[in-house]
Amino acid sequence: KNAIRQAKLCVANDLCGTMQSALAEVAAKAAAEKTDAE
């Protein structure tokens, strides 16, 4: 959760938009895998 919070702060500060996009992709994949597992 901290990583997501940091990513949002990063985007808010316009420091690492590409990194946020990558994290968003990873988070989406992780959520999909978690849903499939359950």
Number of domains in the chain: 1
* Burial annotation 20-31 (CB, 10 A radius, 16+ → b, else e): beebeeeeeeee
The boundaries of the domain holding residue 13 are 2-37
pLDDT at 35: 78
Q: Is the pLDDT of residue 16 over 80?
A: no
- Tell me which residue has tokens 């808010």: 12
Q: Does pTM top 0.85 for this prediction?
A: no
| Average per-residue pLDDT for the chain | 75
